[in-house]
Amino acid sequence: MCCNNLCFENGLRHWRKGKGIVARSSLKYPTAAPERVNRRHYPDQATHWTDWFVEIRVHHWIKNTLVFAPLAFTPQLFSVDSLTRCLLGFVALSIACSGTYLFNDVLDYQADRQHWSKRRRPVASGRISMISALLAAAGLCTLGLTLALAVDGWFAIFLSAYILMSLAYSYHLKSLALLDLVALATMFSLRIMMGTALIGAAFSPWLPVFVFLFFGGLSTAKRTTELVNRNQRDDHSNNRRCYQEEDLPLLIAFGISFSIGALILLSVFIPTVAMADAMYRSPLRLWIAAPLILIWTLRIWALAVRGNLTDDPVLFALKDQFSIIIGTLIALSLLSIHIP
Protein backbone atom coordinates (compact mmCIF):
# COMPACT_ATOMS: atom_id res chain seq x y z
CA MET A 1 0.00 0.00 0.00
CA CYS A 2 2.85 2.39 0.83
CA CYS A 3 4.51 1.65 -2.45
CA ASN A 4 1.29 2.40 -4.33
CA ASN A 5 0.78 5.66 -2.41
CA LEU A 6 4.36 6.68 -3.16
CA CYS A 7 3.87 5.98 -6.89
CA PHE A 8 0.63 7.94 -6.86
CA GLU A 9 2.28 10.93 -5.14
CA ASN A 10 5.21 10.86 -7.58
CA GLY A 11 2.81 10.77 -10.50
CA LEU A 12 0.78 13.64 -9.10
CA ARG A 13 3.93 15.73 -8.60
CA HIS A 14 5.01 15.13 -12.23
CA TRP A 15 1.48 15.91 -13.43
CA ARG A 16 1.57 19.29 -11.71
CA LYS A 17 5.02 20.11 -13.09
CA GLY A 18 4.08 19.10 -16.61
CA LYS A 19 0.70 20.96 -16.58
CA GLY A 20 -1.31 17.82 -17.00
CA ILE A 21 1.15 15.58 -18.85
CA VAL A 22 1.75 12.34 -16.95
CA ALA A 23 5.24 10.93 -17.22
CA ARG A 24 5.15 7.25 -18.08
CA SER A 25 8.13 6.41 -15.88
CA SER A 26 6.42 7.88 -12.79
CA LEU A 27 3.49 5.49 -12.65
CA LYS A 28 3.54 1.86 -11.76
CA TYR A 29 0.69 1.14 -14.17
CA PRO A 30 1.12 3.57 -17.08
CA THR A 31 -1.49 3.71 -19.82
CA ALA A 32 -1.71 5.47 -23.19
CA ALA A 33 -5.48 5.48 -23.28
CA PRO A 34 -6.00 9.06 -22.04
CA GLU A 35 -3.51 10.37 -24.62
CA ARG A 36 -5.28 8.46 -27.37
CA VAL A 37 -8.66 9.87 -26.39
CA ASN A 38 -7.31 13.43 -26.16
CA ARG A 39 -5.72 13.27 -29.60
CA ARG A 40 -8.81 11.81 -31.18
CA HIS A 41 -11.48 14.10 -29.82
CA TYR A 42 -9.72 17.35 -29.04
CA PRO A 43 -7.44 19.47 -31.23
CA ASP A 44 -3.71 19.19 -30.48
CA GLN A 45 -3.43 22.93 -31.13
CA ALA A 46 -5.80 25.86 -31.39
CA THR A 47 -7.41 26.09 -34.81
CA HIS A 48 -5.98 28.89 -36.94
CA TRP A 49 -7.52 30.36 -40.07
CA THR A 50 -4.57 29.03 -42.07
CA ASP A 51 -5.64 25.49 -41.11
CA TRP A 52 -8.93 26.05 -42.93
CA PHE A 53 -7.06 27.54 -45.88
CA VAL A 54 -4.97 24.37 -46.09
CA GLU A 55 -7.92 22.05 -45.51
CA ILE A 56 -10.10 23.40 -48.33
CA ARG A 57 -7.12 22.93 -50.70
CA VAL A 58 -7.25 26.26 -52.50
CA HIS A 59 -4.32 25.22 -54.70
CA HIS A 60 -6.51 22.40 -56.09
CA TRP A 61 -8.87 25.00 -57.52
CA ILE A 62 -6.57 25.17 -60.51
CA LYS A 63 -8.13 21.89 -61.67
CA ASN A 64 -11.45 23.70 -61.94
CA THR A 65 -10.07 25.99 -64.64
CA LEU A 66 -11.11 23.13 -66.95
CA VAL A 67 -14.54 24.80 -67.07
CA PHE A 68 -12.85 27.42 -69.30
CA ALA A 69 -11.51 24.76 -71.71
CA PRO A 70 -14.65 24.48 -73.89
CA LEU A 71 -14.60 28.26 -74.23
CA ALA A 72 -11.10 28.09 -75.72
CA PHE A 73 -12.40 25.94 -78.59
CA THR A 74 -15.29 28.23 -79.56
CA PRO A 75 -15.58 31.72 -81.11
CA GLN A 76 -17.08 32.84 -77.77
CA LEU A 77 -13.59 33.00 -76.29
CA PHE A 78 -13.61 36.81 -76.24
CA SER A 79 -17.28 37.14 -75.21
CA VAL A 80 -17.64 39.03 -71.93
CA ASP A 81 -20.91 37.25 -71.12
CA SER A 82 -19.42 33.78 -71.64
CA LEU A 83 -16.30 34.67 -69.66
CA THR A 84 -18.45 35.97 -66.80
CA ARG A 85 -20.58 32.82 -66.71
CA CYS A 86 -17.48 30.62 -66.72
CA LEU A 87 -15.93 32.68 -63.93
CA LEU A 88 -19.06 32.34 -61.78
CA GLY A 89 -19.15 28.62 -62.57
CA PHE A 90 -15.50 28.32 -61.56
CA VAL A 91 -16.26 29.95 -58.19
CA ALA A 92 -19.30 27.72 -57.56
CA LEU A 93 -17.40 24.57 -58.52
CA SER A 94 -14.38 25.50 -56.39
CA ILE A 95 -16.54 26.15 -53.33
CA ALA A 96 -18.32 22.80 -53.74
CA CYS A 97 -15.01 20.99 -54.35
CA SER A 98 -13.62 22.36 -51.09
CA GLY A 99 -16.64 20.88 -49.34
CA THR A 100 -15.98 17.45 -50.87
CA TYR A 101 -12.31 17.65 -49.78
CA LEU A 102 -13.49 18.15 -46.19
CA PHE A 103 -15.84 15.15 -46.45
CA ASN A 104 -12.96 13.09 -47.83
CA ASP A 105 -10.62 14.02 -44.98
CA VAL A 106 -13.23 13.12 -42.38
CA LEU A 107 -13.78 9.71 -43.97
CA ASP A 108 -10.01 9.18 -44.32
CA TYR A 109 -9.28 10.38 -40.79
CA GLN A 110 -7.87 7.12 -39.42
CA ALA A 111 -5.94 6.22 -42.58
CA ASP A 112 -4.45 9.73 -42.91
CA ARG A 113 -3.10 9.58 -39.35
CA GLN A 114 -0.96 6.62 -40.39
CA HIS A 115 0.30 8.24 -43.60
CA TRP A 116 3.76 9.82 -43.58
CA SER A 117 2.62 13.15 -45.10
CA LYS A 118 -1.20 13.22 -44.89
CA ARG A 119 -1.06 12.97 -41.09
CA ARG A 120 -0.16 16.67 -41.12
CA ARG A 121 -3.52 17.64 -42.59
CA PRO A 122 -5.56 19.79 -40.16
CA VAL A 123 -8.34 17.20 -39.67
CA ALA A 124 -5.97 14.24 -39.35
CA SER A 125 -3.70 16.10 -36.92
CA GLY A 126 -6.66 17.24 -34.81
CA ARG A 127 -6.25 20.97 -35.46
CA ILE A 128 -9.77 20.96 -36.94
CA SER A 129 -12.40 18.78 -35.28
CA MET A 130 -14.39 16.34 -37.37
CA ILE A 131 -17.68 17.97 -36.37
CA SER A 132 -16.46 21.38 -37.56
CA ALA A 133 -15.18 19.81 -40.79
CA LEU A 134 -18.52 18.10 -41.49
CA LEU A 135 -20.51 21.27 -40.84
CA ALA A 136 -18.19 23.30 -43.06
CA ALA A 137 -18.34 20.63 -45.80
CA ALA A 138 -22.14 20.64 -45.85
CA GLY A 139 -22.21 24.42 -45.89
CA LEU A 140 -19.70 24.73 -48.74
CA CYS A 141 -21.48 22.15 -50.91
CA THR A 142 -24.82 23.86 -50.31
CA LEU A 143 -23.36 27.29 -51.10
CA GLY A 144 -21.73 25.99 -54.29
CA LEU A 145 -24.96 24.37 -55.52
CA THR A 146 -26.99 27.50 -54.70
CA LEU A 147 -24.64 29.66 -56.75
CA ALA A 148 -24.68 27.07 -59.55
CA LEU A 149 -28.48 27.18 -59.73
CA ALA A 150 -28.33 30.95 -60.05
CA VAL A 151 -25.92 30.64 -63.00
CA ASP A 152 -27.37 27.78 -65.08
CA GLY A 153 -29.68 24.81 -64.52
CA TRP A 154 -27.65 22.27 -66.52
CA PHE A 155 -24.46 23.43 -64.82
CA ALA A 156 -26.12 22.80 -61.44
CA ILE A 157 -27.13 19.28 -62.56
CA PHE A 158 -23.57 18.44 -63.63
CA LEU A 159 -22.23 19.91 -60.39
CA SER A 160 -24.65 17.76 -58.39
CA ALA A 161 -23.42 14.71 -60.31
CA TYR A 162 -19.86 15.71 -59.54
CA ILE A 163 -20.56 16.04 -55.79
CA LEU A 164 -22.29 12.65 -55.70
CA MET A 165 -19.43 11.04 -57.61
CA SER A 166 -16.89 12.64 -55.27
CA LEU A 167 -18.73 11.42 -52.17
CA ALA A 168 -19.02 7.90 -53.62
CA TYR A 169 -15.31 7.97 -54.40
CA SER A 170 -14.38 9.09 -50.88
CA TYR A 171 -16.74 6.60 -49.24
CA HIS A 172 -15.96 3.43 -51.22
CA LEU A 173 -14.75 3.75 -54.81
CA LYS A 174 -11.22 4.74 -53.81
CA SER A 175 -10.78 1.28 -52.28
CA LEU A 176 -11.65 -0.50 -55.56
CA ALA A 177 -8.69 -1.17 -57.85
CA LEU A 178 -8.87 0.54 -61.26
CA LEU A 179 -12.44 1.73 -60.61
CA ASP A 180 -10.95 4.48 -58.46
CA LEU A 181 -9.01 5.72 -61.48
CA VAL A 182 -12.11 5.63 -63.67
CA ALA A 183 -14.01 7.64 -61.05
CA LEU A 184 -11.27 10.30 -60.87
CA ALA A 185 -11.08 10.58 -64.67
CA THR A 186 -14.88 10.87 -64.84
CA MET A 187 -14.86 13.78 -62.40
CA PHE A 188 -12.40 15.63 -64.63
CA SER A 189 -14.64 15.01 -67.64
CA LEU A 190 -17.60 16.38 -65.67
CA ARG A 191 -15.71 19.66 -65.34
CA ILE A 192 -15.59 19.90 -69.13
CA MET A 193 -19.32 19.18 -69.38
CA MET A 194 -19.96 21.94 -66.83
CA GLY A 195 -17.99 24.36 -68.98
CA THR A 196 -19.96 23.33 -72.07
CA ALA A 197 -23.23 23.96 -70.21
CA LEU A 198 -22.05 27.37 -69.01
CA ILE A 199 -21.44 28.72 -72.52
CA GLY A 200 -24.42 26.90 -74.08
CA ALA A 201 -22.25 25.23 -76.72
CA ALA A 202 -23.24 22.10 -78.63
CA PHE A 203 -21.94 18.97 -76.92
CA SER A 204 -18.93 17.29 -78.54
CA PRO A 205 -17.38 14.10 -77.14
CA TRP A 206 -13.84 14.93 -78.25
CA LEU A 207 -12.78 17.15 -75.34
CA PRO A 208 -14.45 15.18 -72.49
CA VAL A 209 -12.93 11.93 -73.76
CA PHE A 210 -9.48 13.51 -74.16
CA VAL A 211 -9.68 14.89 -70.61
CA PHE A 212 -10.86 11.49 -69.32
CA LEU A 213 -7.83 9.76 -70.84
CA PHE A 214 -5.29 12.45 -70.02
CA PHE A 215 -6.24 12.88 -66.37
CA GLY A 216 -6.83 9.15 -66.02
CA GLY A 217 -3.15 8.78 -66.86
CA LEU A 218 -2.15 11.45 -64.34
CA SER A 219 -4.29 9.83 -61.63
CA THR A 220 -2.59 6.52 -62.32
CA ALA A 221 0.82 8.21 -62.12
CA LYS A 222 -0.17 9.49 -58.68
CA ARG A 223 -1.13 5.97 -57.55
CA THR A 224 2.14 4.69 -58.97
CA THR A 225 4.28 7.15 -57.04
CA GLU A 226 2.29 6.45 -53.84
CA LEU A 227 3.00 2.73 -54.23
CA VAL A 228 6.69 3.26 -55.06
CA ASN A 229 7.12 5.54 -52.03
CA ARG A 230 5.36 3.04 -49.77
CA ASN A 231 7.74 0.31 -50.91
CA GLN A 232 10.78 2.55 -50.43
CA ARG A 233 9.69 3.44 -46.89
CA ASP A 234 8.56 -0.11 -46.09
CA ASP A 235 5.20 1.45 -45.21
CA HIS A 236 2.41 -1.09 -44.84
CA SER A 237 -0.41 1.42 -44.37
CA ASN A 238 -2.44 1.70 -47.59
CA ASN A 239 -4.55 4.80 -46.85
CA ARG A 240 -7.67 2.90 -47.94
CA ARG A 241 -6.02 1.92 -51.23
CA CYS A 242 -6.18 -1.65 -52.45
CA TYR A 243 -2.95 -1.60 -54.47
CA GLN A 244 -0.07 -3.85 -53.46
CA GLU A 245 3.54 -4.08 -54.57
CA GLU A 246 2.73 -6.72 -57.18
CA ASP A 247 0.21 -4.34 -58.80
CA LEU A 248 2.91 -1.85 -59.83
CA PRO A 249 3.47 -3.23 -63.38
CA LEU A 250 -0.30 -3.25 -63.97
CA LEU A 251 -0.64 0.33 -62.76
CA ILE A 252 2.17 1.54 -65.01
CA ALA A 253 0.74 -0.27 -68.05
CA PHE A 254 -2.77 1.00 -67.35
CA GLY A 255 -1.61 4.58 -66.81
CA ILE A 256 0.61 4.75 -69.88
CA SER A 257 -2.27 3.33 -71.94
CA PHE A 258 -4.42 6.20 -70.67
CA SER A 259 -1.76 8.76 -71.61
CA ILE A 260 -1.05 7.32 -75.06
CA GLY A 261 -4.78 7.11 -75.76
CA ALA A 262 -5.14 10.83 -75.03
CA LEU A 263 -2.31 11.72 -77.43
CA ILE A 264 -3.72 9.47 -80.17
CA LEU A 265 -7.14 11.10 -79.78
CA LEU A 266 -5.57 14.57 -80.07
CA SER A 267 -3.66 13.50 -83.19
CA VAL A 268 -6.91 12.32 -84.77
CA PHE A 269 -8.90 15.38 -83.70
CA ILE A 270 -6.57 17.96 -85.27
CA PRO A 271 -6.72 16.80 -88.93
CA THR A 272 -10.27 15.40 -88.95
CA VAL A 273 -12.16 18.00 -86.89
CA ALA A 274 -10.09 21.08 -86.07
CA MET A 275 -8.75 21.63 -89.60
CA ALA A 276 -12.14 20.91 -91.18
CA ASP A 277 -13.99 23.31 -88.86
CA ALA A 278 -14.22 26.88 -90.09
CA MET A 279 -14.45 28.29 -86.56
CA TYR A 280 -10.66 28.05 -86.08
CA ARG A 281 -8.51 30.56 -87.96
CA SER A 282 -5.21 28.75 -87.48
CA PRO A 283 -5.98 25.11 -86.51
CA LEU A 284 -2.48 23.93 -87.50
CA ARG A 285 -1.12 25.62 -84.36
CA LEU A 286 -2.77 22.89 -82.30
CA TRP A 287 0.09 20.64 -83.43
CA ILE A 288 2.36 22.73 -81.19
CA ALA A 289 0.49 21.42 -78.13
CA ALA A 290 0.82 17.73 -79.07
CA PRO A 291 4.60 17.30 -78.61
CA LEU A 292 4.57 19.54 -75.53
CA ILE A 293 1.92 17.34 -73.89
CA LEU A 294 3.93 14.24 -74.87
CA ILE A 295 7.16 15.59 -73.34
CA TRP A 296 5.47 16.66 -70.11
CA THR A 297 3.59 13.35 -69.75
CA LEU A 298 6.74 11.29 -70.28
CA ARG A 299 8.55 13.34 -67.65
CA ILE A 300 5.73 12.86 -65.15
CA TRP A 301 5.82 9.10 -65.68
CA ALA A 302 9.59 8.99 -65.31
CA LEU A 303 9.31 10.83 -61.99
CA ALA A 304 6.43 8.62 -60.84
CA VAL A 305 8.23 5.34 -61.53
CA ARG A 306 11.32 6.59 -59.70
CA GLY A 307 9.24 7.75 -56.75
CA ASN A 308 10.32 11.37 -57.27
CA LEU A 309 6.81 12.71 -57.84
CA THR A 310 5.16 14.18 -54.75
CA ASP A 311 1.92 12.83 -53.27
CA ASP A 312 0.22 15.98 -54.56
CA PRO A 313 0.87 16.28 -58.34
CA VAL A 314 -1.09 19.55 -58.51
CA LEU A 315 1.19 21.19 -55.96
CA PHE A 316 4.17 19.71 -57.79
CA ALA A 317 3.04 21.22 -61.12
CA LEU A 318 2.49 24.63 -59.52
CA LYS A 319 6.02 24.66 -58.11
CA ASP A 320 7.85 22.89 -60.93
CA GLN A 321 9.42 25.43 -63.29
CA PHE A 322 9.46 23.02 -66.23
CA SER A 323 5.73 22.30 -65.81
CA ILE A 324 4.93 26.01 -65.63
CA ILE A 325 6.81 26.70 -68.87
CA ILE A 326 5.19 23.77 -70.70
CA GLY A 327 1.73 24.71 -69.42
CA THR A 328 2.16 28.32 -70.55
CA LEU A 329 3.25 27.24 -74.03
CA ILE A 330 0.29 24.86 -74.37
CA ALA A 331 -2.15 27.58 -73.28
CA LEU A 332 -0.67 30.02 -75.79
CA SER A 333 -0.91 27.48 -78.60
CA LEU A 334 -4.60 26.92 -77.81
CA LEU A 335 -5.34 30.64 -77.77
CA SER A 336 -3.42 31.20 -81.00
CA ILE A 337 -5.83 29.07 -83.07
CA HIS A 338 -8.26 32.02 -82.97
CA ILE A 339 -5.64 34.47 -84.30
CA PRO A 340 -4.93 34.71 -88.07
Residue 147 has pLDDT above 90, yes or no: yes
Whole-angstrom CA distances from 176 to 173, 230, 240, 250 are 5, 18, 9, 14
How many Cα atoms occupy the beta-carbon half-sphere of 253 within 13 Å? 5
Distance of CA 56 to the CA centre of its chain: 11
Q: What is the pLDDT of residues 299-333, one digit of tens each?
A: 999 999 988 887 777 778 888 999 999 999 999 99
Least confident of 22-31, 99-108, 147-156, 258-267: 22-31
Distance between CA 119 and CA 309 in Å, rounded? Answer: 19
Place 41 in a pLDDT band, splitting at 50, 70 and 90.
very low
Show Cβ contacts of residue 11 under 8 Å, excluding neighbours closer than 6 positions: 22, 23, 26, 27
Q: What is the pLDDT of residues 45-83, one digit of tens each?
A: 556 778 778 888 888 899 999 999 998 888 788 889 999
Place 338 in a pLDDT band, splitting at 50, 70 and 90.
confident
pLDDT score for 7: 46
Look at the domain 51-202 and name its fold.
Tetracycline Repressor; domain 2 (1.10.357)
Q: HEC states along 219-237?
A: HHHHHHHHHHHHHHHCCCC
pLDDT score for 239: 59
DSSP, res 174? G
Confidence (pTM)? 0.80
pLDDT score for 73: 85
Q: What mean pLDDT is predicted for residues 144-172?
A: 95
pLDDT score for 293: 95
Distance between CA 240 and CA 171 in Å, rounded? Answer: 10
- The amino acid occupying position 136 is A
Least confident of 97-101, 133-137, 160-164, 275-279: 275-279
Q: What mean pLDDT is predicted for residues 220-224?
A: 91
Least confident of 4-18, 81-95, 223-237: 4-18
